Structure 1
């Protein structure tokens, strides 16, 4: 689980759309239809980030932001989602304690990217990241990126790429790859390993050439 996100949004369609997409990304999602309900969830749940609409019934989003930032929640990140625009408004929100904002209608991909960026910044070292030559792996989150673009990898492909990055510049024998990725008792042929490496290369595109074949031995990741 990547974290728990509280969505305070009275538009059911928008709230459910965000919930669906965040759940697919591995987040736990809590929905609140107004700011007062949001306050109750803050007391009863461990929240990692709030998505806050400004135009809410009852207590408005700006008032909610003022309230939580002044009552022991100053470190809790808040991403504003709003139909309102204007530099003065955005400056005020950022000064009050908002971490970022999105204007409706917005791209779900952009929303997710902003959430990930905020959580990386807030958690700092809490994200376990390994990197080599522009290829980045977050093992705890099962995320792989090449030059910032997220890759779609199978579990086996992810594990092989992780092993190569962890041992960049070193030759990995097929036996080492087999035992680490499949297990010592697995019945896997050299051809199976080669097929998986070939698929990883294709998904890495130009960076795929960094995975070097060592004839009759195995592979290594190097320039």
Structure 2
């Protein structure tokens, strides 16, 4: 999983990063609510770890923003030194899936991360539709205008990841982790190679209303384009 960490204390932030990576996850950290919320508008995370007391707000405000703008599909865990009941209740009422008291115990943290992620999974695999595109995840089939497109397994997995994150900024490391797994013996050039193949096979060059845009030095953004404008 790719985990977003919001923690203003540098020592605690480094500890959380270490624990998350020991659990074979990737992460990106932020020290203020403002920077974290800006990142959430652009980048995709599979789970968030949120400190309750922040220099420019509190975890409750961040959680309410997440639930209002992203929804309940993003698991979020509050981590704080406060263990009094009113704070726990406030965090849960604001939208936290779980609550961990600092200092986080390594095995407990990873277990709670896994549990929150399992609870967030939908009960059935969805069908994704966007314009002429339809992706049936359960049947492992992608079609354009009713015509099935032949894809390798990794190309299909990459396509699903892109269509699940329309408009989001996706780093190469994120795509590598989601499609190949963090322990896979491949590098980011593999991502670029597969992206090139998927772009060609799916015609996501703007000609069908969707375009995969490279972001120099970072990754890609898959976005809607206006067919009335030149592409």
Report the TM range for the smaller structure's normalisation: 0.5 to 0.7
- Indicate the residue corresponding to 2:171 in structure 1: none
SS of residue matched to 1:105: coil
Offset, 1:69? 1.5
1:151-190 matches, within 5 Å, as none
From the CA coordinates, give the structure whose radius of gyration is larger.
1
State the Cα RMSD in Å: 2.3
Cα deviation, 1:46-105, whole Å, max 9, x if unaligned, reads 111110001111122121112222223332111000111222221222122100001112
Larger relative contact order (C-alpha < 8 A, sep ≥ 6)?
2
What count of residue pairs does the alignment treat as equivalent? 128
1:38-187 matches, within 5 Å, as 38-123=36-121
Deviates more, 1:46-55 or 1:21-30: 21-30
Q: Is the 8 A contact 2:60 2:90 kept in 1?
A: no
Offset, 1:24? 2.5
Q: Is the 8 A contact 2:59 2:91 kept in 1?
A: no
Q: TM-score, normalised by structure 1?
A: 0.52
Q: Which runs of 5+ in 1 are unaligned?
A: 127-139, 143-223
Q: Is the 8 A contact 2:51 2:79 kept in 1?
A: yes
Cα deviation, 1:140-167, whole Å, max 9, x if unaligned, reads 979xxxxxxxxxxxxxxxxxxxxxxxxx
Distance of aligned partners of 1:20 and 1:62 in 2 relative to their CA distance in 1, 3 Å threshold: same
1: distance between equivalents of 2:71 and 2:118?
18
Cα deviation, 1:94-134, whole Å, max 9, x if unaligned, reads 122100001112212111110011111212569xxxxxxxx
SS of residue matched to 1:70: helix
Distance of aligned partners of 1:19 and 1:125 in 2 relative to their CA distance in 1, 3 Å threshold: farther
Distance of aligned partners of 1:107 and 1:13 in 2 relative to their CA distance in 1, 3 Å threshold: same
Cα deviation, 1:13-37, whole Å, max 9, x if unaligned, reads 1111111221122211010011111
Distance of aligned partners of 1:97 and 1:20 in 2 relative to their CA distance in 1, 3 Å threshold: same
Q: Choose between structure 1 and 2: higher helix proportion.
A: 1
The one of 13, 16, 27 aligned to 1:15: 13
Q: TM-score, normalised by structure 2?
A: 0.51
1: distance between equivalents of 2:14 and 2:123?
31
